[in-house]
Structure 1
């Protein structure tokens, strides 16, 4: 049918079409793709280290925004709880460590998950593929009961990449809310193939079958490159068999970094496959892709955190400052740069809510009034300043031997870090940064050489000393003393806000094994077991 618009000059037609397209996009909720990897250190991605082949990740990161100050927790479960709830781990009981297979810990129902918010308040379809690691002692705490329309993956912290088993038992399932009940224990024994590639196959299926009239949230949580070190042989052959590194005690050790990097390359291939399918289905035109690791790399397994000190399991930068980026074809007004603004795992929930159309003033949302995350859309989309100037690293005094308090805070252009307690083993200090950082510190303060540690207290100017070579706690410079006192006050103010760790003791395997599968249970399941 001929229209009046077609009779006008061509430039008017094009202008009207462009205006309609822009207006339509502005009123659509974006598709959100959150991709998490496991145990990837700062130098385990190609745009930071050309030794590892990650062309797809490099392309997305270099054409998006690379996050230089992307903070998480030093191990898996606390980071995942922060992302899922928008709250610090010490507010939800996940501050003490990872959730083991026979540990009755979970996200309490009083905390809305990011999937629940997006599906219930903003009309999203939500699917999860990969690693959960947030507890499964009863059906109602598993992904399809916490907002996800489907879950394809495993509940625990790791498993064999080919057999999908851990400790001889199976932990792989295919849960669909379309089935009644929501089959949280529906096992899959017919899965065949390397798990990284199996996960992306399911992700591609979800994308192909998705109704484009509805916004999509896909959480793709790869196990890789977490141990066990396993990868297709053709990828392992791309790399040397081992590397030598300096361990925390100063000794020289070798690690199978070749297999580790092969696992990273497999993730890169999987992300490339998903990216291409999103392009094919037209889902990238109004979408954002977020990529992050859940904690730092483990050198003994092949991880490489240079120039950051420490490793997974420590509160040095190498344990908590990880690779990450955001990419979008249409939503970013500034691209192809690195942003140094502070960002925390808890920020993703309010940021996604804001992208979905939620109020930037999250205090108006009853579900979000007590969250710790902040809306980072201005930082991510427009290159603005970070919406936060402080990150609480952790508040955990459950066990005296592992007590840890920590905070990072920005003062103008300087970023300082204070930790009290068990920061972790001494940590690798990469020699490539020692000289320059020492000069930077002397230029800043001209202070006397500081003591190594004072009563397990540590103070680092991480904006100049990202290798955390020089502990400035106890320095007599008035400016440093003022900062030290302020950070100690921040920690003291945060301590009363911590809740006890969520069921930190293990129950024993008989409670959660059913016909050879790690299993939840109806009702209260085995959540009330006695350790």
Structure 2
């Protein structure tokens, strides 16, 4: 009897130690944020640009079909870093500080929020970031004071090469000369962020800690710049035009199973000139612009491949969660023609913006772009890779449950065994708004309790289940059944007034709760919605 008791006790003790060891094993985490990348720009989301490395992550992980961002650069970054809406974090718009009477518009992450680095550092993680910060460095909010053990960052963006006019880098808080011996010679930011990310990962491994790397690319944001040999790979491939490219991407998305074939492709923006009406010189110019954009994305994908190879070399790839998203939809700034400046387009001295035609193709199959709260402005690729944590049976699957940029903090807390604080450094911390995405990794339903909300420059939206209420400033509310009509062609507001009333009431409560204010700036329209909707009537 005593012998049996000892055996049972030993077994219990062994299992207890096993459970402790398992509980202590935390996965490494990498969050990769692209900048101004449209929904269809990756091969695995319907694009023609070669992106084999991201495609492979998707093939061996999950693709989220309904991952939502914050419609613009700074708000998305604030929401990603804090897990609350950007207005709550203090960045309701961009980097203009409206003063103490406007707490949602202070142009920096406030002290009533915590960053993913602060939370995960307290959970035992080695924390690092590389890339574009853009959440208040000019106001004193910097990565090395918001939880990151290591950082190589740009305060905002606007450059790819050290020869750029606004190029400026900070290494762990120290401003570097662009030709510093601490940097590679003739560096290119897309490669540089990954290079230093791996260096910081080495420090985390040496410290015997799990690591968190926030890798915030400035690609493919303007001014578009890339090595000439990469641009040459794509020159001449876009002479078919943006309308045909958009149609080809749409058809590929259906073939992939990414989108429902019943979702009709919206009519092209009527403000954009038809490709066939352009002169030969303009066609060549626009082909060149898109070739540069493609080269920037191609190089971004290559850097992801370098990162994965580095993780595998270090033997940590299987235990590393990689999340890849973008901060907003394709960029139609500064308008129809885009920008094509410089003696050598794509070089450090040039300024290239792709314009509305190519931006519309980038956002396939949706309409509208960056800034807007229709699907084109807020939909992003969403890839999750975690060989040790995603069942093999889920590899390559599409996940249709809606996810939002605020969900990243909640997910990291969940998978990293962290605790989201109620107070931090003497400040009361606002509750999390996001929802953990960990259940969907194994095919379970996530426990989202509240709708998802948006407000940017007076453009607004709420998604609650299949329903989406949306309005661009200064439109009236429109209602769409996103399950049946995600390309937002059939406005059901008149048919379901009670749904409009219910959702608009929820939106008003949220608007006041997060401290949003009516947008009072001049607004440049990128889309003639009334005209487009009349053309869309034939598709209903």
- TM-score, normalization by structure 2: 0.73
What is the CA distance between 1:364 and its match in structure 2? 7.7
- Return the alpha-carbon distance in structure 2 between the equivalents of residues 20 and 273 of structure 1: 37
Which digits, 9 at most, give the CA deviation of each residue in 1:32-61, with x for residues without a partner? Answer: 011111111111001122511000000001
What is the CA distance between 1:312 and its match in structure 2? 1.2
Matched, 1:462 2:482: yes
Return the match for 2:322 from 289, 312, 326: 289
What is the CA distance between 1:466 and its match in structure 2? 1.7
What is the CA distance between 1:377 and its match in structure 2? 1.0
Q: How many matched pairs?
A: 426
Return the match for 1:403 from 450, 455, 458: 458
Return the match for 2:34 from 37, 43, 50: 37
SS in 2 for 1:386: coil
SS in 2 for 1:199: helix
Aligned counterpart, 2:473: 422
What is the CA distance between 1:341 and its match in structure 2? 0.5
Matches within 5 A, 1:120-139: 121-139=122-140
Q: Answer whether contact 1:39 1:298 (CA < 8 A) is retained.
A: yes
Q: Answer whether contact 1:395 1:498 (CA < 8 A) is retained.
A: no
Cα–Cα, structure 1 residues 277 and 126, in superposed 2: closer, same or farther, change >3 Å?
same
Matches within 5 A, 1:20-35: 24-35=21-32
Matches within 5 A, 1:184-263: 185-190=175-180, 191=183, 192-211=186-205, 213-241=208-236, 242=238, 243-245=241-243, 246-247=268-269, 249-252=271-274, 255=286, 256-263=289-296
Return the match for 1:340 from 394, 400, 415: 400
Q: What value does the CA root-mean-square deviation take over the aligned residues?
A: 2.9
What is the CA distance between 1:160 and its match in structure 2? 2.2
Matched, 1:483 2:499: yes
Aligned counterpart, 2:311: 278
Q: Answer whether contact 1:343 1:386 (CA < 8 A) is retained.
A: no
- Return the alpha-carbon distance in structure 2 between the equivalents of residues 368 and 391 of structure 1: 21
What is the CA distance between 1:209 and its match in structure 2? 3.6
- Return the alpha-carbon distance in structure 2 between the equivalents of residues 247 and 473 of structure 1: 23
Matches within 5 A, 1:140-155: 141-155=141-155
Matched, 1:376 2:373: no
Matches within 5 A, 1:44-59: 44-59=41-56
What is the CA distance between 1:268 and its match in structure 2? 0.7
What is the CA distance between 1:335 and its match in structure 2? 2.4
Q: Answer whether contact 2:373 2:472 (CA < 8 A) is retained.
A: no
Matches within 5 A, 1:287-326: 287-299=320-332, 301=354, 302-303=358-359, 304-326=362-384
Which digits, 9 at most, give the CA deviation of each residue in 1:78-122, with x for residues without a partner? Answer: 00000111101222232224569xx97210122111100111x20
- Return the alpha-carbon distance in structure 2 between the equivalents of residues 161 and 198 of structure 1: 10
What is the CA distance between 1:28 and its match in structure 2? 0.6
Aligned counterpart, 1:471: 491
What is the CA distance between 1:201 and its match in structure 2? 1.4
Q: Answer whether contact 1:389 1:409 (CA < 8 A) is retained.
A: no
Moved more, 64-73 or 254-263: 254-263
SS in 2 for 1:70: strand
Aligned counterpart, 1:441: none
- Return the alpha-carbon distance in structure 1 between the equivalents of residues 70 and 396 of structure 2: 27
- Return the alpha-carbon distance in structure 2 between the equivalents of residues 154 and 408 of structure 1: 34
What is the CA distance between 1:416 and its match in structure 2? 1.4
Aligned counterpart, 2:161: 162
Q: Answer whether contact 1:129 1:152 (CA < 8 A) is retained.
A: yes
Aligned counterpart, 2:77: 80
- TM-score, normalization by structure 1: 0.74
SS in 2 for 1:482: helix
Q: Answer whether contact 1:159 1:171 (CA < 8 A) is retained.
A: no
